Structure 1
């Protein structure tokens, strides 16, 4: 059974900046490449963090919020903002390099990670892309939400092959537009349930239509535990 890995869908032509890159260098790169963020690297190509449009805008946002229209808050208020919940915005408003502006540590993945694992990381941390690093933490690529969608563009023939392999020929399999239909008869109901779960976990499967039957309902025979 083929499991799609990050290395199969990631982009290797990665726009990245050194930690010493200037504010203007980062801004120009984001604009020229039409992207919203880039990995920040040390001199050994290791990923230190990510700098995004939001990180760059923090500088102007802070200035406009606290220093616009010739307004300058009292010293005590400035200290409170810099030390409190908005301290990150204050520090970034002073940043001149990618290293000072970036969000760190970066959420990363590895080339051999399953695509579904990368998708879960993006969802958990609310990010649109993940730098891909090797065992030494060095940048080798980047994977985005758009890259992950490629998994669902697999040919029906490829999906059918993987489903048949997973089920070891114990059910009839047909695939149409990545929707799998399973037919056939199993000895036990639990076997049919397992077959559906296996098919659902194949990369590229959009849905599984369960038309399986069974001879014996071993699930209904299980004892019900509990009491008053």
Structure 2
């Protein structure tokens, strides 16, 4: 059986600081400073995520602090200026919150972050209850996987499965997450397949495929 891909549940942070919708502005700033975070989820009821307050939401108060409320910029950015005048999380937060499920794969979480231009995502269960937080840094944890672990998985799940006859003549070297495959295989059509499968292994940074097919004379004589 192939190992399951890493999921958000494998890398997320489960100790999460959050605020309620009624949390005042200064309390939110203090919480962010104390916990050294740049955003906090806003929870309602029994832990349901209803929004997120980020530093960007809070900075509107400073940005428009000295501006005349009647300026053209104010009129063009009514949402931002409204936050500048807000004093509690329910008015400051971005809602609905952009979230992810714990079972989502790391590429899925990365795509959500990129699409919505956010640095972290609240992780929720099927009922919308907060389970943790996953950040960009968390998604990169997979690249700390030891080279030996990667080599073992590549041998067992790629080399031995694709090349059961040729496997003993295939070398797998992993250095700093870069996998190098070399050797001769019977079926050259499977070489690009092997490269793709190795690249999909969690923690692989790059793939150098030096596999070659059999000599022309050998290939021609193979039944």
What is the TM-score with the length of structure 1 in the denominator? 0.83
- CA RMSD between the two structures: 2.0
Task: Give the 5 Å matches for 1:98-177.
Answer: 98-169=89-160, 170=163, 171=167, 172=170, 173-177=172-176
What does residue 211 of structure 1 align with?
Answer: 210
Number of aligned positions between the proteins:
206
What does residue 25 of structure 1 align with?
Answer: 27
Whole-Å separation in 2 of the counterparts to 1:151 and 1:203: 7
What does residue 69 of structure 1 align with?
Answer: none
Instruction: Tell me if the contact between 1:11 and 1:141 (Cα under 8 Å) persists in the aligned partners.
Output: yes
Instruction: Tell me if the contact between 1:189 and 1:216 (Cα under 8 Å) persists in the aligned partners.
Output: no
Any stretches of 5+ residues in structure 2 without a counterpart?
217-223
Instruction: Tell me if the contact between 2:159 and 2:194 (Cα under 8 Å) persists in the aligned partners.
Output: no
Q: Deviation of residue 168 (structure 1)?
A: 4.8
Instruction: Tell me if the contact between 2:41 and 2:51 (Cα under 8 Å) persists in the aligned partners.
Output: yes
What does residue 225 of structure 1 align with?
Answer: none
Q: Deviation of residue 60 (structure 1)?
A: 2.4
**SS of the residue aligned with 2:185?**
strand
Whole-Å separation in 2 of the counterparts to 1:157 and 1:104: 44
Q: Does 1:81 align with 2:74?
A: yes
**Residue deviations 1:90-135 (CA, integer Å, cap 9, x gap):** 2112212111101112211111111121122212222111111011
What does residue 65 of structure 2 align with?
Answer: 63
Whole-Å separation in 2 of the counterparts to 1:182 and 1:87: 57
Q: Deviation of residue 187 (structure 1)?
A: 3.5
Any stretches of 5+ residues in structure 1 without a counterpart?
67-71, 218-228
Q: Does 1:15 align with 2:17?
A: yes
**Residue deviations 1:36-89 (CA, integer Å, cap 9, x gap):** 1111111221111110111111122123232xxxxx63xxx57x834xx40111
Select 1:35's aligned residue among 34, 37, 47: 37
